[in-house]
Amino acid sequence: MRAFWLLVLVPLAVAGWLAVRVSSDGAELRRHEIQQLLDGRLADVRTRTGQALATLERQLGEALANAPATPEELRALGRRIPLARQVFRLDARGHLVFPGPDPGRAEREFLERTASIWTGRAILAAPVGPGEVAQPRAAGALGVGDSLVDLARRRPHGWLTWYWAEGLHLLYWQRANNDVIGVEVERIGVMSRIVGALPTASLVDGRMELADSRGEVVHQWGDMDVQDERPDASVALEAPLDAWHLRYYLAPSQRAALEGGGDTGLYLGLAAIGLATLVLAAFIYREYTRRLRDAAQRVGFTTRVSHELRTPLTNIRMYAELLEQDLEDARGEGPEEPAAEDGRSIDDQQRRVRVIVGEAQRLGRLIDNVLAYARHQRGTLVEPAATSAVDEVVRDAVAKFEPVLGARGIEVRFELRAPPPVRAGSDTVDQIVVNLLSNVEKYAASGGEVVVSTRADGGRVIVGVADRGPGVPAGERAAIFEPFHRAADSLTGASGTGIGLAISRELARAAGGDLALVDSERGAAFELTLPSATASPIGGPP
């Protein structure tokens, strides 16, 4: 039954492990899908901010397209651009044309904020981008290297960002023939345009933030309190605000709703399969135990009946043998053959008595086999600790069969060469040999001979019974030791229970030996192997 429950529980355990694995993979897939969803939402917002920056860039480009050169025109241009904080212009060598040598207060503050740009201390040059061509630098030119003039040789316009005092500063520039013209843009104005491009609808499933380069929240929407939690998704804005980030925090309830529920059908299906398997296993177990119980009852009944039959059978056999002996004595009293009261001769009566004795012996062997099989089924077929002389037991067993074998025309030839006793009881050896001779009587009468041999082989004694009959068909050799299997019934018409060889092998193994069908040129040859009583038992002292 352990194997049965193992066959039931192992598939259930494997199914459970697969369910956990599938659930884990499903949860990971859902987390990936949720991440893609959040990234997609942030990408939409980022696209809006990018469009707002692109619109601002286009407006600034249109405003600087005329590229005035005089200080008065440049100051007037700065006043016309709504977001302009200061306009500037560089010549082809990178010298500031405006603001000039006599700047006003606002222009001096601008020069102070941007000093690192004009003196070459700032790193302005970017890697060559797609479609850009690196231009050779003029050796010794002022500002050439990390300068706007150098950048203007590579691209027509662009942005510069730098940090000064209160924070981020933005500068837009574009190429004007061989010069560069640009404008410093009010940071607050740029922020207002970015915030204006952000969604206005309230978030019910979390919170979204716009954070500057220092991580401080510039704008947020959604009422969820994040309390320094790590964002579920984050994306940088497009240049020049690529140091700013959009952050998304998903509400725990919304995450639970998105992540959960996917495995409900899987778990219900597996639970149904598991329940059905357990119910089926319980049904099979109940039927199996019921059949075992019924089989045990039948075996018990057979055992009880067999035990009950032994007493009258013993009496029948005893009185038949006494009658046979009386008839033999009466036959020897006089020279003339006396007749019975009914006119039949004593010879006829002796033949009938011998039939009674023979059939009683046959029935006795059958009962012995049935009782041995019952003990085997109950697991109580144990060979008692005893020894016996094999040759003597074999001779006695054959003597019981000589009249029957003689009547069938079967001659017995002895080859007994096993003087050492064996570690097995005489009843065990007798029952095995009798079962083998019974098969010879049933199946091998056509051979006319049976050879019964014994020999010592090391620590073993081997008893052989070989007939000259039709033998065992090749297809039957593996099954003849199975209970209730009988070979060649259709050919011989022999009857029997089919447990003789099975019980004989179990008896041999219970004694520490074995019974096997061996190869022979003709007929069937069986060898009974038993441990010699003079040899050391396995695991015991010599």
**pLDDT, tens only, 380-432:** 555 566 788 889 999 988 888 888 888 888 999 999 987 778 888 888 888 89
Type of residue at 103: P
Residue with tokens 């020897």: 332
CATH class of 287-381: mainly alpha
Q: What is the mean pLDDT of the segment spanning 83-109?
A: 90
With 0-12 CB in 10 A as exposed, 13-18 as middle and 19+ as buried, what is 452?
A: buried
- The whole-number average pLDDT for the span 457-472 is 90
Looking up tokens 């019934």 gives 489
Looking at residue 59, its pLDDT comes to: 93
Report the pLDDT averaged over residues 50-60: 93
CA dihedral 294, 300, 301, 306 (to 10 degrees): 150
At 517 the pLDDT is: 92
- Of all residues in the chain, the percent with pLDDT exceeding 70 is 75
Could you tell me where in the chain the CATH 1.10.287 domains are found?
287-381
Secondary structure of 62-111 in HEC code, one letter for each residue: HHCCCCCCCHHHHHHHHHHCCCEEEEEEECCCCCEEECCCCCCHHHHHHH
Q: 383-531 has which CATH code? A: 3.30.565.10
The pLDDT value recorded for residue 343 is 47
DSSP three-state, residue 223: coil
> What gap in Å lies between CA 114 and CA 91, rounded to an integer?
17
d(CA 526, CA 436): 8
List, by residue range, all CATH 3.30.565.10 domains of the chain.
Answer: 383-531
Cα–Cα dist 19/402, whole Å: 71
pLDDT tens digits along 196-221: 888 877 777 788 889 888 888 888 88
Integer Rg of the chain from CA:
55
Average pLDDT over residues 448-456: 92
Q: Tell me the whole-structure pTM to 2 decimals.
A: 0.47
Cβ pair 122, 116 in contact under 8 A? yes
Closest CA to 377 of 369, 388, 386: 369
DSSP-based three-state secondary structure for 457? strand
- Between residues 108 and 364, which one has the greater pLDDT? 108
Q: Count other Cβ atoms within 10 Å, centred on residue 151.
A: 20
How far is the C-alpha of 203 from the C-alpha of 217, rounded, in Å?
Answer: 17
Q: How far apart are CA 377 and CA 78, in angstroms?
A: 111
Residue 378 φ then ψ, to 5°: -85, -5
% residues pLDDT > 90 (the chain): 20
Angle at 325 between CA 322 and CA 330, to 5 degrees: 125
Judge if the upstream peptide bond of residue 240 is cis by omega within 30 degrees of 0. Answer: yes
Q: In Å, what is the CA distance from 197 to each residue of 55, 190, 234, 250?
A: 11, 11, 18, 21
Torsional sign, CA 413, 417, 419, 422: negative
The structure tokens 């059939």 sit at 359
pLDDT at 86: 94
Distance linking the first and last C-alpha atoms of the chain: 39
Residues 6+ apart with CB under 8 A from 540: none
- Residue range 131-173, pLDDT digits in tens: 444 344 443 343 344 678 888 888 899 999 888 877 888 999 9
| 226-281 confidence digits (pLDDT tens) | 776 788 899 999 988 888 999 988 887 777 777 665 566 666 777 777 777 777 77
Mean pLDDT over each residue of the chain, to the nearest integer: 78
Ranked by mean pLDDT, which of 321-335, 340-354, 484-498 comes out on top?
Answer: 321-335
Res. 335: pLDDT tops 60? no
Is the preceding peptide bond at 99 cis, omega within 30 degrees of 0? yes
More confident residue, 443 or 87: 87
Q: Which of 80, 50, 49 is nearest to 65 (CA)?
A: 80
CA distance 534 to 440: 31
